[in-house]
Protein backbone atom coordinates (compact mmCIF):
# COMPACT_ATOMS: atom_id res chain seq x y z
CA UNK A 1 0.00 0.00 0.00
CA UNK A 2 1.24 3.50 -0.85
CA UNK A 3 1.60 6.02 1.96
CA UNK A 4 -0.60 8.67 0.39
CA UNK A 5 -0.11 11.20 3.19
CA UNK A 6 3.66 11.14 2.78
CA UNK A 7 3.33 11.44 -1.01
CA UNK A 8 1.09 14.50 -0.63
CA UNK A 9 3.58 16.14 1.72
CA UNK A 10 6.50 15.58 -0.62
CA UNK A 11 4.55 16.38 -3.81
CA UNK A 12 1.77 18.89 -3.06
CA UNK A 13 0.22 18.40 -6.53
CA UNK A 14 -0.82 14.90 -5.42
CA UNK A 15 -3.36 16.66 -3.14
CA UNK A 16 -5.07 18.07 -6.24
CA UNK A 17 -5.04 14.64 -7.87
CA UNK A 18 -6.55 12.94 -4.80
CA UNK A 19 -9.22 15.68 -4.68
CA UNK A 20 -9.97 15.19 -8.44
CA UNK A 21 -9.27 18.88 -8.90
CA UNK A 22 -8.30 20.29 -12.30
CA UNK A 23 -4.63 21.17 -12.17
CA UNK A 24 -1.55 22.13 -14.21
CA UNK A 25 1.83 20.49 -13.64
CA UNK A 26 4.82 22.31 -15.09
CA UNK A 27 7.62 19.79 -15.50
CA UNK A 28 10.60 20.93 -13.38
CA UNK A 29 13.08 18.81 -15.39
CA UNK A 30 12.03 20.03 -18.82
CA UNK A 31 15.00 20.76 -21.09
CA UNK A 32 17.64 19.18 -18.85
CA UNK A 33 20.20 16.92 -20.50
CA UNK A 34 19.29 13.21 -20.56
CA UNK A 35 20.12 9.93 -22.23
CA UNK A 36 17.13 8.73 -24.24
CA UNK A 37 16.10 5.17 -25.06
CA UNK A 38 15.67 5.93 -28.78
CA UNK A 39 17.59 8.00 -31.30
CA UNK A 40 16.99 10.14 -34.36
CA UNK A 41 18.30 7.20 -36.43
CA UNK A 42 15.57 4.99 -34.92
CA UNK A 43 12.98 7.58 -35.93
CA UNK A 44 14.12 7.67 -39.56
CA UNK A 45 14.41 3.88 -39.65
CA UNK A 46 10.72 3.71 -38.67
CA UNK A 47 9.78 6.27 -41.32
CA UNK A 48 11.64 4.27 -44.00
CA UNK A 49 9.88 1.05 -42.98
CA UNK A 50 6.47 2.70 -43.32
CA UNK A 51 7.51 3.85 -46.79
CA UNK A 52 8.52 0.31 -47.81
CA UNK A 53 5.05 -0.85 -46.77
CA UNK A 54 3.20 1.86 -48.72
CA UNK A 55 2.56 -0.43 -51.76
CA UNK A 56 1.20 -3.08 -49.38
CA UNK A 57 -1.40 -0.63 -48.09
CA UNK A 58 -2.43 0.45 -51.57
CA UNK A 59 -3.01 -3.23 -52.38
CA UNK A 60 -4.61 -4.42 -49.11
CA UNK A 61 -6.46 -1.25 -48.07
CA UNK A 62 -7.58 0.51 -51.28
CA UNK A 63 -8.83 3.51 -49.25
CA UNK A 64 -5.14 4.40 -48.75
CA UNK A 65 -4.45 4.64 -52.51
CA UNK A 66 -5.30 8.33 -52.49
CA UNK A 67 -2.22 9.05 -50.33
CA UNK A 68 -0.07 6.40 -52.08
CA UNK A 69 -0.29 4.03 -49.13
CA UNK A 70 1.00 6.53 -46.57
CA UNK A 71 -1.37 6.74 -43.58
CA UNK A 72 -1.51 10.40 -42.64
CA UNK A 73 -4.06 12.91 -41.40
CA UNK A 74 -4.61 16.53 -42.40
CA UNK A 75 -3.48 19.60 -40.44
CA UNK A 76 -6.55 21.85 -40.40
CA UNK A 77 -6.70 25.55 -39.45
CA UNK A 78 -9.70 25.96 -37.09
CA UNK A 79 -10.20 29.70 -36.88
CA UNK A 80 -13.90 29.57 -36.13
CA UNK A 81 -13.27 27.16 -33.27
CA UNK A 82 -10.55 29.48 -31.96
CA UNK A 83 -13.00 32.37 -31.81
CA UNK A 84 -15.64 30.17 -30.18
CA UNK A 85 -13.16 28.93 -27.56
CA UNK A 86 -12.03 32.46 -26.74
CA UNK A 87 -15.63 33.37 -26.10
CA UNK A 88 -16.61 30.20 -24.22
CA UNK A 89 -13.54 29.99 -21.96
CA UNK A 90 -13.15 33.78 -21.71
CA UNK A 91 -9.53 34.15 -22.81
CA UNK A 92 -7.56 35.46 -25.75
CA UNK A 93 -5.40 32.75 -27.25
CA UNK A 94 -2.26 34.33 -28.74
CA UNK A 95 -1.22 32.94 -32.13
CA UNK A 96 -3.06 30.50 -34.40
CA UNK A 97 -4.93 27.29 -33.74
CA UNK A 98 -4.84 24.10 -35.83
CA UNK A 99 -6.27 20.61 -35.50
CA UNK A 100 -4.20 17.51 -36.29
CA UNK A 101 -7.07 15.37 -37.47
CA UNK A 102 -5.99 11.83 -36.52
CA UNK A 103 -9.70 11.12 -36.20
CA UNK A 104 -9.42 10.73 -39.99
CA UNK A 105 -6.42 8.38 -40.04
CA UNK A 106 -7.23 5.36 -42.20
CA UNK A 107 -7.92 1.92 -40.72
CA UNK A 108 -8.59 2.69 -37.02
CA UNK A 109 -9.72 6.31 -37.30
CA UNK A 110 -7.37 7.12 -34.43
CA UNK A 111 -3.79 7.92 -33.51
CA UNK A 112 -3.33 4.16 -32.89
CA UNK A 113 -3.01 3.72 -36.64
CA UNK A 114 0.47 5.17 -36.19
CA UNK A 115 2.03 3.04 -33.45
CA UNK A 116 -0.11 -0.10 -33.52
CA UNK A 117 0.09 -0.67 -37.23
CA UNK A 118 3.80 0.15 -37.34
CA UNK A 119 4.63 -2.56 -34.82
CA UNK A 120 2.58 -5.15 -36.73
CA UNK A 121 4.46 -4.26 -39.92
CA UNK A 122 7.81 -4.54 -38.18
CA UNK A 123 6.93 -8.06 -36.97
CA UNK A 124 5.64 -9.07 -40.41
CA UNK A 125 8.73 -7.76 -42.17
CA UNK A 126 11.07 -9.65 -39.83
CA UNK A 127 9.20 -12.92 -40.39
CA UNK A 128 9.04 -12.40 -44.17
CA UNK A 129 12.74 -11.54 -44.43
CA UNK A 130 13.75 -14.52 -42.28
CA UNK A 131 11.69 -16.84 -44.49
CA UNK A 132 13.76 -15.84 -47.51
CA UNK A 133 10.60 -14.88 -49.43
CA UNK A 134 11.12 -11.12 -49.12
CA UNK A 135 14.06 -8.76 -49.72
CA UNK A 136 14.12 -5.07 -48.82
CA UNK A 137 13.98 -3.91 -52.47
CA UNK A 138 10.81 -5.92 -53.24
CA UNK A 139 7.46 -4.34 -53.97
CA UNK A 140 5.80 -5.04 -50.61
CA UNK A 141 2.41 -5.42 -52.32
CA UNK A 142 3.48 -9.07 -52.59
CA UNK A 143 2.77 -9.40 -48.85
CA UNK A 144 -0.90 -9.22 -49.78
CA UNK A 145 -0.89 -12.65 -51.47
CA UNK A 146 -1.86 -16.16 -50.28
CA UNK A 147 1.78 -17.27 -49.97
CA UNK A 148 2.44 -14.66 -47.31
CA UNK A 149 -0.95 -15.13 -45.61
CA UNK A 150 0.05 -18.79 -45.19
CA UNK A 151 3.41 -17.79 -43.77
CA UNK A 152 1.90 -15.35 -41.24
CA UNK A 153 -0.87 -17.79 -40.29
CA UNK A 154 1.72 -19.75 -38.29
CA UNK A 155 2.04 -16.78 -35.91
CA UNK A 156 -0.19 -14.88 -33.54
CA UNK A 157 -0.25 -11.22 -32.58
CA UNK A 158 -1.82 -10.28 -29.26
CA UNK A 159 -2.46 -6.97 -27.51
CA UNK A 160 -4.23 -5.56 -24.47
CA UNK A 161 -6.33 -2.55 -25.41
CA UNK A 162 -9.03 -0.16 -24.24
CA UNK A 163 -10.29 -0.22 -27.85
CA UNK A 164 -8.51 1.80 -30.49
CA UNK A 165 -5.14 0.05 -30.24
CA UNK A 166 -6.95 -3.26 -30.61
CA UNK A 167 -8.71 -1.94 -33.72
CA UNK A 168 -5.54 -0.80 -35.46
CA UNK A 169 -3.51 -3.90 -34.60
CA UNK A 170 -6.34 -6.39 -34.98
CA UNK A 171 -7.46 -5.17 -38.39
CA UNK A 172 -3.99 -5.08 -39.98
CA UNK A 173 -2.73 -8.26 -38.30
CA UNK A 174 -5.80 -10.22 -39.43
CA UNK A 175 -5.51 -8.82 -42.96
CA UNK A 176 -1.88 -9.99 -43.20
CA UNK A 177 -2.96 -13.47 -42.11
CA UNK A 178 -1.90 -13.52 -38.45
CA UNK A 179 -4.09 -14.95 -35.69
CA UNK A 180 -4.97 -11.72 -33.92
CA UNK A 181 -6.14 -11.62 -30.30
CA UNK A 182 -7.22 -8.51 -28.42
CA UNK A 183 -7.53 -8.60 -24.63
CA UNK A 184 -10.05 -6.01 -23.42
CA UNK A 185 -11.79 -5.07 -20.21
CA UNK A 186 -15.48 -6.00 -20.25
CA UNK A 187 -16.52 -2.35 -20.02
CA UNK A 188 -14.73 -1.45 -23.28
CA UNK A 189 -17.12 -0.06 -25.93
CA UNK A 190 -19.34 -2.79 -27.38
CA UNK A 191 -19.07 -1.44 -30.94
CA UNK A 192 -15.29 -1.79 -30.84
CA UNK A 193 -15.57 -5.46 -29.80
CA UNK A 194 -18.21 -6.12 -32.47
CA UNK A 195 -16.12 -4.51 -35.21
CA UNK A 196 -13.04 -6.52 -34.24
CA UNK A 197 -14.94 -9.81 -34.27
CA UNK A 198 -16.37 -8.91 -37.65
CA UNK A 199 -12.79 -8.54 -38.97
CA UNK A 200 -11.85 -12.02 -37.76
CA UNK A 201 -10.10 -10.94 -34.56
CA UNK A 202 -10.47 -12.95 -31.32
CA UNK A 203 -11.65 -10.69 -28.51
CA UNK A 204 -11.07 -11.85 -24.92
CA UNK A 205 -12.94 -9.92 -22.23
CA UNK A 206 -11.95 -9.44 -18.60
CA UNK A 207 -13.88 -8.30 -15.55
CA UNK A 208 -12.04 -5.54 -13.75
CA UNK A 209 -9.72 -2.85 -15.01
CA UNK A 210 -7.67 -2.63 -18.19
CA UNK A 211 -4.56 -3.52 -16.17
CA UNK A 212 -6.00 -7.04 -15.67
CA UNK A 213 -6.59 -7.40 -19.40
CA UNK A 214 -3.09 -6.36 -20.42
CA UNK A 215 -1.37 -8.37 -17.66
CA UNK A 216 -3.25 -11.58 -18.46
CA UNK A 217 -2.75 -11.06 -22.20
CA UNK A 218 0.98 -10.64 -21.72
CA UNK A 219 1.24 -13.78 -19.57
CA UNK A 220 -0.73 -15.91 -22.05
CA UNK A 221 1.37 -14.75 -25.00
CA UNK A 222 4.60 -15.44 -23.09
CA UNK A 223 3.66 -19.14 -22.97
CA UNK A 224 3.52 -19.47 -26.76
CA UNK A 225 6.69 -18.62 -28.72
CA UNK A 226 4.70 -18.18 -31.94
CA UNK A 227 2.72 -15.30 -30.42
CA UNK A 228 4.02 -11.73 -30.46
CA UNK A 229 2.63 -9.55 -27.68
CA UNK A 230 2.45 -5.84 -28.49
CA UNK A 231 3.05 -4.17 -25.16
CA UNK A 232 1.28 -0.83 -24.76
CA UNK A 233 3.03 -0.39 -21.41
CA UNK A 234 6.55 -0.25 -22.80
CA UNK A 235 7.04 -1.01 -26.50
CA UNK A 236 9.71 1.05 -28.28
CA UNK A 237 8.29 0.11 -31.66
CA UNK A 238 4.86 1.50 -30.82
CA UNK A 239 6.57 4.66 -29.60
CA UNK A 240 8.61 5.04 -32.78
CA UNK A 241 5.55 4.49 -34.94
CA UNK A 242 3.87 7.42 -33.19
CA UNK A 243 7.03 9.51 -33.48
CA UNK A 244 7.01 9.41 -37.30
CA UNK A 245 4.08 11.83 -37.12
CA UNK A 246 6.59 14.62 -36.46
CA UNK A 247 8.39 14.11 -39.79
CA UNK A 248 5.07 14.28 -41.63
CA UNK A 249 3.99 17.32 -39.62
CA UNK A 250 7.17 19.18 -40.55
CA UNK A 251 6.17 18.87 -44.22
CA UNK A 252 2.56 19.91 -43.55
CA UNK A 253 3.71 23.00 -41.67
CA UNK A 254 6.11 23.92 -44.48
CA UNK A 255 3.38 23.41 -47.11
CA UNK A 256 1.12 25.81 -45.21
CA UNK A 257 3.99 28.30 -44.76
CA UNK A 258 3.81 28.01 -40.96
CA UNK A 259 7.13 28.99 -39.44
CA UNK A 260 8.60 27.23 -36.42
CA UNK A 261 11.53 29.05 -34.78
CA UNK A 262 12.42 30.83 -31.53
CA UNK A 263 9.91 33.64 -32.08
CA UNK A 264 7.33 31.30 -33.65
CA UNK A 265 7.18 28.44 -31.14
CA UNK A 266 5.06 25.35 -31.76
CA UNK A 267 2.79 23.96 -29.03
CA UNK A 268 1.15 20.58 -29.33
CA UNK A 269 -1.66 19.48 -26.98
CA UNK A 270 -2.01 15.71 -26.70
CA UNK A 271 -4.42 13.48 -24.74
CA UNK A 272 -2.60 10.86 -22.66
CA UNK A 273 -3.79 7.42 -21.59
CA UNK A 274 -0.90 5.05 -20.96
CA UNK A 275 1.27 7.88 -22.34
CA UNK A 276 2.76 6.01 -25.29
CA UNK A 277 1.20 7.89 -28.18
CA UNK A 278 1.72 11.43 -26.83
CA UNK A 279 5.24 10.53 -25.69
CA UNK A 280 6.13 9.10 -29.10
CA UNK A 281 4.83 12.18 -30.90
CA UNK A 282 6.71 14.42 -28.45
CA UNK A 283 9.96 12.54 -28.97
CA UNK A 284 9.54 12.91 -32.74
CA UNK A 285 8.84 16.64 -32.44
CA UNK A 286 11.95 17.13 -30.30
CA UNK A 287 14.08 15.33 -32.90
CA UNK A 288 12.70 17.52 -35.68
CA UNK A 289 12.15 20.93 -34.05
CA UNK A 290 14.36 20.78 -30.94
CA UNK A 291 13.74 23.59 -28.48
CA UNK A 292 11.18 25.32 -30.71
CA UNK A 293 8.47 22.70 -30.14
CA UNK A 294 6.76 22.05 -26.82
CA UNK A 295 4.31 19.34 -25.81
CA UNK A 296 1.54 19.48 -23.23
CA UNK A 297 -0.42 16.37 -22.22
CA UNK A 298 -4.04 16.29 -21.06
CA UNK A 299 -5.56 13.70 -18.69
CA UNK A 300 -8.94 13.20 -16.97
CA UNK A 301 -9.10 14.25 -13.30
CA UNK A 302 -10.37 10.74 -12.50
CA UNK A 303 -7.42 8.95 -14.12
CA UNK A 304 -4.29 11.16 -14.32
CA UNK A 305 -1.88 8.24 -14.56
CA UNK A 306 1.03 9.88 -16.42
CA UNK A 307 0.91 13.01 -14.25
CA UNK A 308 0.87 10.96 -11.04
CA UNK A 309 3.80 8.86 -12.26
CA UNK A 310 5.89 11.78 -13.50
CA UNK A 311 5.24 14.21 -10.63
CA UNK A 312 6.20 11.59 -8.04
CA UNK A 313 9.00 10.08 -10.13
CA UNK A 314 7.43 6.67 -9.47
CA UNK A 315 6.25 6.35 -13.10
CA UNK A 316 4.80 2.85 -13.72
CA UNK A 317 5.30 1.90 -10.07
CA UNK A 318 2.21 3.84 -9.04
CA UNK A 319 -1.37 3.71 -10.34
CA UNK A 320 -4.27 6.10 -9.80
CA UNK A 321 -6.02 3.35 -7.82
CA UNK A 322 -3.18 3.57 -5.27
CA UNK A 323 -4.29 7.11 -4.39
CA UNK A 324 -7.94 6.14 -4.16
CA UNK A 325 -9.23 7.37 -7.53
CA UNK A 326 -12.02 5.47 -9.32
CA UNK A 327 -10.53 5.70 -12.82
CA UNK A 328 -13.93 6.42 -14.38
CA UNK A 329 -14.10 8.68 -17.45
CA UNK A 330 -16.07 9.25 -20.65
CA UNK A 331 -12.69 9.42 -22.38
CA UNK A 332 -12.37 5.66 -22.86
CA UNK A 333 -9.18 6.08 -24.92
CA UNK A 334 -7.52 7.54 -21.82
CA UNK A 335 -8.89 5.10 -19.25
CA UNK A 336 -5.59 3.55 -18.20
CA UNK A 337 -4.68 3.69 -14.50
CA UNK A 338 -0.98 2.90 -14.74
CA UNK A 339 1.39 4.74 -17.12
CA UNK A 340 3.72 3.03 -19.57
CA UNK A 341 7.22 2.06 -18.46
CA UNK A 342 8.67 4.06 -21.33
CA UNK A 343 6.63 7.27 -21.40
CA UNK A 344 7.43 8.74 -17.99
CA UNK A 345 11.15 8.02 -18.27
CA UNK A 346 11.53 9.43 -21.77
CA UNK A 347 9.30 12.43 -21.08
CA UNK A 348 11.17 13.47 -17.90
CA UNK A 349 13.20 16.04 -19.86
CA UNK A 350 11.13 16.33 -23.08
CA UNK A 351 7.64 17.16 -21.82
CA UNK A 352 6.69 20.72 -20.91
CA UNK A 353 3.51 20.27 -18.84
CA UNK A 354 0.46 18.14 -18.05
CA UNK A 355 -3.04 19.44 -17.31
CA UNK A 356 -6.10 17.59 -16.01
CA UNK A 357 -9.71 18.17 -17.00
CA UNK A 358 -13.25 17.32 -15.88
CA UNK A 359 -15.14 15.12 -18.35
CA UNK A 360 -17.93 17.62 -18.93
CA UNK A 361 -15.45 19.97 -20.59
CA UNK A 362 -14.34 17.48 -23.24
CA UNK A 363 -17.96 16.57 -23.93
CA UNK A 364 -18.66 20.28 -24.50
CA UNK A 365 -15.59 20.71 -26.76
CA UNK A 366 -16.66 17.66 -28.78
CA UNK A 367 -20.04 19.29 -29.45
CA UNK A 368 -18.50 22.71 -30.09
CA UNK A 369 -16.09 21.31 -32.68
CA UNK A 370 -19.02 19.75 -34.52
CA UNK A 371 -21.10 22.93 -34.34
CA UNK A 372 -18.32 25.28 -35.45
CA UNK A 373 -16.10 23.25 -37.79
CA UNK A 374 -18.32 20.24 -38.64
CA UNK A 375 -15.63 17.88 -37.37
CA UNK A 376 -16.60 14.71 -35.49
CA UNK A 377 -14.22 13.37 -32.85
CA UNK A 378 -14.60 11.05 -29.88
CA UNK A 379 -14.56 12.62 -26.38
CA UNK A 380 -10.94 11.54 -25.64
CA UNK A 381 -9.85 13.39 -28.75
CA UNK A 382 -11.12 16.75 -27.48
CA UNK A 383 -8.88 16.71 -24.42
CA UNK A 384 -6.30 18.95 -26.11
CA UNK A 385 -8.78 21.85 -26.03
CA UNK A 386 -8.84 21.69 -22.23
CA UNK A 387 -5.03 21.68 -22.07
CA UNK A 388 -4.91 24.54 -24.58
CA UNK A 389 -6.78 26.81 -22.21
CA UNK A 390 -5.31 25.60 -18.94
CA UNK A 391 -1.63 25.69 -19.95
CA UNK A 392 -1.55 29.25 -21.31
CA UNK A 393 -0.65 30.93 -18.00
CA UNK A 394 2.35 28.64 -17.50
CA UNK A 395 3.46 28.89 -21.14
CA UNK A 396 3.25 32.70 -21.17
CA UNK A 397 5.84 32.79 -18.38
CA UNK A 398 8.24 30.70 -20.42
CA UNK A 399 7.88 31.62 -24.10
CA UNK A 400 7.08 34.49 -26.45
CA UNK A 401 3.48 33.57 -27.35
CA UNK A 402 2.54 36.32 -29.82
CA UNK A 403 3.36 34.27 -32.94
CA UNK A 404 2.71 30.85 -31.48
CA UNK A 405 1.29 27.96 -33.46
CA UNK A 406 -1.01 25.72 -31.38
CA UNK A 407 -1.93 22.24 -32.54
CA UNK A 408 -4.68 20.36 -30.74
CA UNK A 409 -4.15 16.70 -31.58
CA UNK A 410 -7.58 15.17 -32.29
CA UNK A 411 -6.72 11.55 -31.60
CA UNK A 412 -9.76 9.60 -32.74
CA UNK A 413 -13.34 9.39 -33.90
CA UNK A 414 -13.88 8.27 -37.49
CA UNK A 415 -15.16 4.79 -36.66
CA UNK A 416 -17.52 5.85 -33.84
CA UNK A 417 -21.03 4.65 -34.83
CA UNK A 418 -23.61 7.38 -35.50
CA UNK A 419 -25.79 6.48 -32.48
CA UNK A 420 -22.81 6.55 -30.14
CA UNK A 421 -21.67 9.89 -31.54
CA UNK A 422 -25.20 11.33 -31.20
CA UNK A 423 -25.20 10.37 -27.53
CA UNK A 424 -21.82 12.04 -26.88
CA UNK A 425 -22.88 15.11 -28.82
CA UNK A 426 -26.13 15.34 -26.88
CA UNK A 427 -24.28 15.28 -23.55
CA UNK A 428 -21.80 17.87 -24.82
CA UNK A 429 -24.54 20.19 -26.03
CA UNK A 430 -26.08 20.25 -22.56
CA UNK A 431 -22.79 21.50 -21.15
CA UNK A 432 -22.46 24.16 -23.86
CA UNK A 433 -25.54 26.01 -22.65
C1 LIG B 1 -5.05 5.63 -27.09
C2 LIG B 1 -5.65 6.94 -27.26
C3 LIG B 1 -5.09 8.08 -26.70
C4 LIG B 1 -3.88 8.07 -25.78
O5 LIG B 1 -2.81 7.25 -26.18
P6 LIG B 1 -1.90 6.52 -25.08
O7 LIG B 1 -0.81 5.90 -25.85
O8 LIG B 1 -2.76 5.51 -24.37
O9 LIG B 1 -1.46 7.58 -24.13
C10 LIG B 1 -5.71 9.28 -26.95
N11 LIG B 1 -6.83 9.37 -27.69
C12 LIG B 1 -7.40 8.29 -28.26
C13 LIG B 1 -8.61 8.46 -29.10
C14 LIG B 1 -6.83 7.04 -28.06
O15 LIG B 1 -7.41 5.97 -28.61
- Taking CA atoms only, the protein residue closest to ligand 1 atom 1 is 333
Say how many Å lie between the CA of residue 332 and the centre of ligand 1. 9
Question: Confidence class of residue 116 from pLDDT cuts 50, 70 and 90?
Answer: very high
User: What is d(CA 352, CA 372) in angstroms, rounded to the nearest whole number?
Assistant: 29
For residue 330, the CA-to-ligand 1 centroid distance in Å is 13
What is the rounded average pLDDT of the residues 183-203? Answer: 90
pLDDT in tens, 208-244: 777 888 889 999 999 999 999 999 999 999 999 999 9
Q: What is the pLDDT of residue 338?
A: 94
For the stretch 249-258, contacts whose Cβ atoms lie closer than 8 Å and that sit 24 or more positions apart, written own/partner, are 249/75, 249/100, 249/285, 249/288, 249/407, 250/288, 250/289, 252/74, 252/75, 253/75, 253/405, 256/75, 256/77, 258/96, 258/98, 258/405
For residue 160 and ligand 1, the question of a CB distance below 6 A is answered with no
Global pTM value: 0.97
How many whole angstroms from 12 Cα to the centroid of ligand 1?
27
Ligand 1: nearest atom to the Cα of 242 = 7
164 lines ligand 1 (CB under 6 A): yes
408 lines ligand 1 (CB under 6 A): no
For ligand 1, whether the C-beta of 106 sits within 6 Å is no
Convert the pLDDT of each residue in 274-323 to its tens digit.
999 999 999 999 999 999 999 999 999 999 999 999 999 999 999 999 99
Structure confidence at residue 211 (pLDDT): 80
pLDDT reported for residue 97: 98
Q: Of ligand 1's atoms, which has the minimum distance to the CA of residue 115?
A: 7
pLDDT computed for residue 1 by the predictor: 59
Is residue 274 in contact with ligand 1, taking CB distance under 6 Å? yes
DSSP assigned state of 110: B
Domains of the chain: 4-38+67-108+237-432 (3.40.50.1100), 111-234 (3.40.50.1100)
* pLDDT band at residue 163 under the 50/70/90 scheme: confident
Residue nearest ligand 1's atom 14 by CA: 333
Segment 58-88, tens digit of pLDDT: 999 999 999 999 999 999 999 999 999 999 9
Among 174, 175, 166, residue whose Cα is nearest residue 194: 166
Mutation pick for ligand 1 pocket among 105, 111, 231 (CB with most ligand atoms within 8 Å): 111
Amino acid sequence: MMDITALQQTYPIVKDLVAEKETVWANPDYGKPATLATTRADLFDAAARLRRFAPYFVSAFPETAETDGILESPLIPIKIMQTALNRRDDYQLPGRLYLKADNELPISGSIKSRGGIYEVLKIAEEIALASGQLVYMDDYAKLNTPAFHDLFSHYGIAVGSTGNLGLSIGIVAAKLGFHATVHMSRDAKQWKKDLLREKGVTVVEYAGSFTTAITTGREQAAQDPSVFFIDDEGSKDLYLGYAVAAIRLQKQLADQAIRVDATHPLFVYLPAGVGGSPAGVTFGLKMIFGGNAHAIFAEPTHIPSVLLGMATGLNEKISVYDIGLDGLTEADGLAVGRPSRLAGHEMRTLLDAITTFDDERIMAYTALLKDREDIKVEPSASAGFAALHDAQAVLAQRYPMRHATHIVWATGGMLVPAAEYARDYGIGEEFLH
